Structure 1
Amino acid sequence: MIVAFSVAPSGADSVDADGGMSEAVAAAVRVVRESGVSHQTTAMFTYLEGEWDEVMAVVKAATDAVAALAPRVSLVLKADIRPGFDDQLTAKVERVDRHLE
């Protein structure tokens, strides 16, 4: 399964000195990177690939990391549940790229 998720702090107390949310987002990304789950991070979403329980545990831990720094948390999640398919984070992009060649 692939999960695309975005977790962000909400509330005046969660804004960095520069007006952004990078400290809280970094806390979530740290959880993802330390999890050992296959992942990609982009400007707006983080993608995880693995089994349901391991992926959802990382989403929960990342959300909890943001919640430790903010009074409110927003979570957006989209999942592609396709048993029997692995390494799709790159394979899906490669299939599209073949059509573009």
Structure 2
Amino acid sequence: MLVAFSVAPTTSAETDDGSVAKAVAEAVKVVRDSGLSYETNSMFTTVEGEWDEVFGVIKAATEAVGATSSRVSLVVKADIRPGHTNQLTEKVQRITEHLDS
């Protein structure tokens, strides 16, 4: 299963420019420390694993952001495909093969 999620505080007093980077970094640290395969880009973090472990990590990441703000925004998109692993890289590889042909 692949799950892309975005979590951020909706209120922030951490910087004058309104950046939420510090709070988001706390969420990404939770993902990193989980040991699951993941990728982070400017909009989402995608995590690969089994249902309970992935959603447990998302819950913990959301709680980490919640520690910085009284309100949190969470967006989740899942690709549920039992029996398939390493899709974090293999899906991209299949697209690249089509682009290169």
Q: Which TM bucket (shorter chain)?
A: over 0.9
Compute the TM-score of the two structures, normalised by the length of structure 2.
0.95
In 2 relative to 1, CA 18–75 (structure 1 residues): closer, same or farther, beyond 3 Å?
same
Does residue 58 (structure 1) correspond to residue 30 (structure 2)? The answer is no
Q: Does the CA-based 8 Å contact 1:38-1:49 persist in structure 2?
A: yes
Does residue 11 (structure 1) correspond to residue 11 (structure 2)? The answer is yes
Report 1:27-66 matches (<5 A): 27-66=26-65
Compute the TM-score of the two structures, normalised by the length of structure 1.
0.95
Corresponding residue for residue 99 of structure 1: 98
Does residue 81 (structure 1) correspond to residue 87 (structure 2)? The answer is no
SS in 1 for 2:61: helix
Gaps of 5+ in 2: none
Distance 1:48 1:81 in 2: 12
SS in 2 for 1:40: strand
Q: Does the CA-based 8 Å contact 1:11-1:71 persist in structure 2?
A: yes
Following TM superposition, the consecutive aligned residue runs of length 4 or more in structure 1 with deviations greater than 6 angstroms are none
**Percent identity between the two aligned chains:** 60
Distance 1:12 1:88 in 2: 35
In 2 relative to 1, CA 12–26 (structure 1 residues): closer, same or farther, beyond 3 Å?
closer
Distance 2:69 2:6 in 1: 15
Deviation, structure 1 residue 4: 0.2
Corresponding residue for residue 2 of structure 2: 2
How many residues are treated as equivalent by the alignment? 100
